Chain A
Amino acid sequence: GEDVEQSLFLSVREGDSSVINCTYTDSSSTYLYWYKQEPGAGLQLLTYIFSNMDMKQDQRLTVLLNKKDKHLSLRIADTQTGDSAIYFCAEIENQGGKLIFGQGTELSVKP
């Protein structure tokens, strides 16, 4: 079945760039998503990328997709303390619309 993997923790200094990585197994995935979850809150859709794209940029966020290696990354420029959260990568199951989540990467931003 489909599987999505992420590293569990990332710690950066305020003002640095953060790069969160994700690998997935389903080569037929058409869309890949990044969600952010702050403590005590639900999941916030950050951005998503279509599988025929290599890159998508939205203000401080850059998503890179290497479809050959099934590798997705989220770069956050000028990381702020408010970016501290858990970031989930997800792919959509080919049938039925089921989201397959990674384990989540906990980003800690130190002042």
Chain B
Amino acid sequence: DTEVTQTPKHLVMGMTNKKSLKCEQHMGHRAMYWYKQKAKKPPELMFVYSYEKLSINESVPSRFSPECPNSSLLNLHLHALQPEDSALYLCASSREIQNSNQPQHFGDGTRLSIL
């Protein structure tokens, strides 16, 4: 069981659709992360939020739009995605960014398929 909850678990969408991925944690963590992972590869960092403000954007295309409505929730809005965006999208959280002794805890991910 994971303390970071991601919904939906699976998502199939067309290239013209708009959808959102959701992530929730109730551990009181103030840093939240989005990663993209291709099969049998390590996760690639996309975005980092710290205290509900965007801290890092790893040059992600604008068709991915993150949002942090409050300290427990993190969304990833998707629009006009490409087939190469099909991947497992992982959310993670940690107590803070600056304290590196606080590990990141991951959700089970959303498996996204773009038709």
A42 to B25, CA, bound (A): 15
Tell me how far the C-beta of A97 lies from the nearest C-beta in chain B, rounded to whole angstroms: 4
Within 8 A of B (CB), among A60-77: none
B2 part of interface (Cβ distance < 8 Å): yes
Within 8 A of A (CB), among B97-115: 97-98, 100-101, 103-109, 111
A44 to B106, CA, bound (A): 7
- Interface range on chain A: under 10, 10 to 19, 20 to 34, or 35 or more? 20 to 34
A96 to B50, CA, bound (A): 10
With most chain B CB atoms within 10 A of its CB, the pick from A31, A42, A99 is A42
Point out the residues of chain B lying under 8 angstroms from A42, CB to CB: 2, 4, 6, 90, 106-109
A63 to B3, CA, bound (A): 24
Interface string of B65-108 (1 = CB under 8 A from A): 00000000000000000000000001010101110110111111
Q: How many inter-chain contacts with C-beta < 8 Å in the A-B complex?
A: 59
Point out the residues of chain B lying under 8 angstroms from A48, CB to CB: 103
A33 to B43, CA, bound (A): 14
A108 to B43, CA, bound (A): 21
Question: Is there an interface contact between A98 and B56, defined as CB atoms closer than 8 Å?
Answer: yes
Question: Is there an interface contact between B31 and A97, defined as CB atoms closer than 8 Å?
Answer: yes
Select one of A41, A97, A103 contacting B108, CB under 8 A: A41
A4 to B49, CA, bound (A): 24
Question: Is there an interface contact between B41 and A104, defined as CB atoms closer than 8 Å?
Answer: yes
A33 to B94, CA, bound (A): 14
A86-B100 contact given A96-B56, A98-B56, CB 8 Å threshold = no
A31-B48 contact given A42-B106, A96-B55, CB 8 Å threshold = no
A40 to B100, CA, bound (A): 28
Tell me how far the C-beta of B18 lies from the nearest C-beta in chain A, rounded to whole angstroms: 25
Residues of A bordering B, CB below 8 Å: 30-31, 33, 35, 40-45, 48, 50, 86, 88, 92, 96-99, 101-104, 106
13 A-B pairs (CB sep. < 8 Å): A31-B103, A42-B2, A42-B6, A43-B106, A45-B106, A96-B97, A97-B96, A97-B97, A98-B48, A101-B42, A101-B43, A103-B41, A103-B42
